[in-house]
């Protein structure tokens, strides 16, 4: 194995040249399917949470229960934020992985 030397001022760091191996673990395809199913379940839960929160918000507002209306608003924001993070999980991980690879 050949190492590449990187000079950092007076310090010298060695690059071992190791990269991600997508064929190295048995069962990786199954793990990817499980994670994909978890993403789907998470998005379905966000949709259900959004619908329930909107109903609570509307009923609470209609009946003058501002505590329930406030809780419904919070639920809408939490469900929307969860959907944003779940939907963007691949892009977020890819971004930080690329960022970490350029250090």
Residue-wise pLDDT tens digits, 26-84: 888 899 999 999 999 999 999 999 999 999 999 999 999 999 999 999 999 999 999 99
- Joined together, the tokens standing for residue 94 give 């890819």
**How high is the pLDDT of residue 20?**
79
Cα-based distances in Å from 82 to 36, 63, 99: 16, 28, 23
**How high is the pLDDT of residue 98?**
87
- Joined together, the tokens standing for residue 57 give 């918000």
**How high is the pLDDT of residue 49?**
98
**How high is the pLDDT of residue 7?**
54
User: For 5, phi and psi rounded to 5 degrees?
Assistant: -95, 130
**How high is the pLDDT of residue 79?**
98
Which residues are paired to 7 by β-bridges?
A: 12
Dist. CA 75–CA 50, nearest whole Å: 7
Dist. CA 19–CA 38, nearest whole Å: 27
């Amino acid at each position: 194995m050949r190492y590449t030397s990187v000079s950092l001022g007076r310090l010298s760091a060695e690059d071992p040249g190791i990269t991600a191996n997508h064929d190295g673990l048995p069962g990786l395809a199954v793990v990817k399917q499980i994670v994909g199913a978890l993403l789907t379940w998470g998005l379905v839960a966000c949709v259900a949470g959004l619908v329930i929160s909107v109903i609570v918000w509307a009923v609470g507002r209609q009946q003058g229960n501002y505590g329930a209306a406030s809780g419904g608003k919070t639920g809408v924001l939490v469900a929307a934020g969860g959907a944003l993070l779940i939907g963007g999980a691949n892009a977020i991980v890819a971004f930080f992985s690329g960022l970490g690879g350029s250090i």
